[in-house]
Structure 1
Amino acid sequence: MITNDHSPESIRIIAKNTVIKFLHIELHGSNESHREIYYLIPEMDFTFLHLESQTFYRSQFLGGMMEDSFFLDLTRACKCLYLTTSESEMIEKITPEALYQVYKNRTEGSTKFRTLRINSSIKLGTVVAFLRHIGIIYTNGSFYSNRDFEVYKRGVNNNAEYAIFDGFLETIFHNDHGVEFRKFTLKLHESQDSLEKAKNREGFVKVNVSPA
């Protein structure tokens, strides 16, 4: 784990002299050295990356840095990317187009990337627009599409978790009272068994997808 005690130079040495499988970066605050650490990440090569920013006073540190180019660089550097922020911080600079690019790369098999998990708030409009890019219209808890998606739901419409399956690729999001989405996930299931277990998670029921 990399914390506030690590300098950018020490991380450069670690990256140069070790093979990294799992990297967890947890930083408190928003000074310039933290930014230097984050911007070193795309230069590394590892399997699992968890970026955690527990900021205060709405400093919007990690959320403010996570623009499309940086975000896409991170997805090229690892197989699994987790982004976690404090409750007051929103991931708001990642666009629907960037999410779609990750989705498209995965469906085309042009990337090693497997899993994206955003453990923080993401704008309602961002997720709705992303769904339109992949061929789904979402409105007031209902889904419309002319493609062969399967959709599962747990909870009620204004506070529900949804799982959308496009073959082996799963998209998960939580509609938080119609204001924003939380816990946005893209995941590639690598076996039929994993896929079936996901579709049969406790509390989830299959919902109808109407023609668009």
Structure 2
Amino acid sequence: MAERTDRGKLDLFVEQVNTLERCRALRAGTVSTSMVVGAANQPFVSYEQGDLDDLRSALTVFRAFVAPKEDCYFETISSIVDRLAPDDPTRQANAALLKGWSGVMKGSFQLNRRSVTCREAFKLVAYGGHLHHDVRKIQNLESLGVLRPAVEWLATRALVSGLQILQAQRSMIGEVLAGRSMPLV
């Protein structure tokens, strides 16, 4: 399979964001996250994953933005947009989106004296429970015991929070491409 052009990658990104928005779990609002600090300053994690099949569908699409080898990996798309940006304000807005995305993916939770990022949590949940059933990741996820809900919360948080940034990046791509008079090679 031939490597996609920059235009092909941008078009795929827009298509994948549209697909993610159409996922029932996100469209119907059945996926949500919240954290409340309770008695003795202990956090209480709450998340709604809704219908498991709907969540799997959303995780499958979201994976393309998180996996470095995918054509619509967020950092790759951000780099393309930066190269095509017609002016400094657009480049600055793009940099702000990349910083926001990095913040979402690096958001973390302390579990047994180890910090787990949203990206790591997403991989554990997606590959160890919902998508590929990687035996090692299943064992890692199951070994968390009572801490598993916190990891699932982080993965769900990445999905919910990440969607807003993906939507903003899609809009920026539209603006950048609208300003170009010739197709990208």
With structure 1 as the length reference, what TM-score do the two structures score?
0.27
Structure with higher RCO (Cα < 8 A, 6+ apart):
2
Q: Which has the higher strand share?
A: 1
- Normalised TM-score (structure 2): 0.29
